[in-house]
Amino acid sequence: MQDYKAPQRDTLFVMQEVLDFPSHYAKLGFEDASMDMVQAIFAESAKFAENVLAPLDAIGDQGCVWDNGKVTTPAGFKEAYQQYVDGGWTGMTHELELGGQGLPYSLAGMMAEWNSSANHAWSMYPGLSQGCIETIKEYAPQALKDAYLPKLIGGEWTGTMCLTEPHCGSDLGMLKTKAELNEDGSYRLNGTKIFISAGEHDLSGNIVHIVIARIAGAPEGTKGISLFVVPKYNVDNNGNVVNPNGVSCGSIEHKMGINGSATCVINFDDAKGFLIGEANRGLNAMFTFMNVARIGVGVEGLAASEAAYQGSLRYAKERLQFRAMDGVKNPQGPADPIINHPDVRRMLLTQKALAEGGRALTLYCMQLADKTLYAEGPEREAADAKLALLTPILKAFMTETAQESTSYGIQVYGGHGYVKEWGMEQLARDTRICTLYEGTTGIQGLDLLGRKVLGSKGKLLQLVGQDLHGICASAKQVASLSDYAKQLEKHLGELHNLTMAVADKASTNPLEVGAASVDYLMYSGYVVMGHFWLQIAQVAQAKLDSGTDEEAFYQAKLHTAKFYFERLLPRTKAHKAGILAGADNLMAMPTELF
């Protein structure tokens, strides 16, 4: 995204003033993650995103090149990756003894937003390695950890996740990739995986695939899935490459967007792999990778909304069209900047509200993720439970609203938005994938309503709801925010009633869960984000009341909060109607009448 500027000030605002990250880091034992250190890291990360990645974004749209199984990434991608590795960015959050820097997970997550805003396609290469690393850390035997982790963490190697096959997407129980035991305890894998992001490229010396397959004789369905580490090149016990493995790239996809990211067909032909985790319980282990990836996709949605807002705002201030309805704003020119037109402001404020509210939601989820990694006992258990509920909301709500933000990016530009040179149509194309991978919005909705809410008999919802009620109780003490707090309290009560209504219907018709799930997720998303806007507004009001030299910054927060509560939160009414409409209007029509 040309002319992208990393939102350092807003990120620090959320960290320091809204979510109190200094205390959070101190409590978890990250003394080195002081705010001075964080700001220094942010400054360097911003330079990389703005000066290295953003200029490569349009170049990357030209796509990767596949030739006889080898993939060449767009010009500049390889050099940018090496610069990223040399800067130590790949190992920021990993243990010192493994070559990392021992910093908290959330710190890298914040900067992942900036890299994705600047260049979505490029950011996927190092991003996917993190899930691979975490899966090996948690489930692999020590010998495999010793052989693979140092070079993955150091960035010499990259990693992937191999789930999807030509005949099965999200229904992983249908997979056909087979694994047969070798005499030395390794396995021989045969099968084909598709849609493998970063499955083949020229950025790193080896690519480590995390692969699901079925061991010969294993049960059918998801109960018979096992998980394997399968490298592109075989390695010895010291982690040195020795010879090519039976892993090849059959082709790359010609896609709607993120063309700089190689999406590959990967063939495993007697490929040597190593079982990690328990046999036939690979799907349980794979969720480690998938949960990391789902949070990452939510970050991509946030990144797209921010990039769309920045581009739209810049254009709206410069583009002259018509005179403002309430009087001339630019008497020296033939027309006024389009930012003076109400509908343009509607689009800009929507983008701004979704990006800035989404940043608070995202950083809160990363704060919870830190606790699941570094806290102990009840605090860790509570954070894990809350994150379980919020992850499908983060992933789906942030990516669905990103579709709206990037669409508005094109709309603000008018005809120019549809032309490649301005970057908005590429941003919209690149972002479209985000609602699809790591589970579509429909699957996230089923996960939220079916598995997390109803599956826990409402306990997870109640746990998160307690925190949200606490935010409302605090904000009700501020006169200017009391009405907003009361609105949200009503929504929390309504969400409880909607949950009970769906549960009652589902007791006699299981289709009711699927019929309500996406509307339920979107309703939840607007309500949860509303609470973060309430927190933001409370902090902004307090700063203005006590005096500040950044009055414009905090006034903008209050104006945007007002817009959110009066324009965006009311969307819940339509989602409520959808939830209560039931399954009959979807399922009654015979298939042959479609």
Spatial separation of the C-alpha atoms in residues 260 and 211, rounded to whole Å: 23
Length of the chain: 594
Q: Which residue reads 């996740």 in tokens?
A: 161
Spatial separation of the C-alpha atoms in residues 57 and 117, rounded to whole Å: 10
Spatial separation of the C-alpha atoms in residues 101 and 548, rounded to whole Å: 36
Spatial separation of the C-alpha atoms in residues 84 and 112, rounded to whole Å: 12
Both tokens of 580, joined, read 């209560």
E strand spans, 61-218:
65-67, 70-72, 157-162, 178-181, 187-197, 206-215
Sign of CA dihedral 586, 590, 593, 594: positive
Contact 514, 444 (CB under 8 A): no
Q: Give Cα 299 to chain centroid, integer Å.
A: 3
Q: Is 411 exposed, middle or buried (0-12, 13-18, 19+ CB in 10 A)?
A: middle
Active site residue 438: yes
Both tokens of 563, joined, read 């817009």
The strand pairing partners of 227, in sequence order, are 212, 276
Both tokens of 244, joined, read 């090519």
Q: Which residue reads 């910054």 in tokens?
A: 553
Rounded to 10°, the helix 511-546/572-581 angle is: 160
Q: Give Cα 415 to chain centroid, integer Å.
A: 30
Contact 155, 98 (CB under 8 A): no
Q: Are strands 187-197 and 178-181 parallel, antiparallel or unpaired?
A: antiparallel
Rounded to 10°, the helix 342-374/21-28 angle is: 20
Active-site annotation holder among 438, 489, 512, 566: 438
Q: What are the backbone dihedrals phi and psi of residue 208, each rounded to the nearest 5 degrees, phi first? A: -105, 115
- Within 8 A by CB and 6+ apart from 287, the residues are none
The 10 Å Cβ neighbour count of residue 544 is 16
Strand, helix or coil for residue 171: coil
Strand, helix or coil for residue 274: strand
Q: Which residues are catalytic?
A: 438
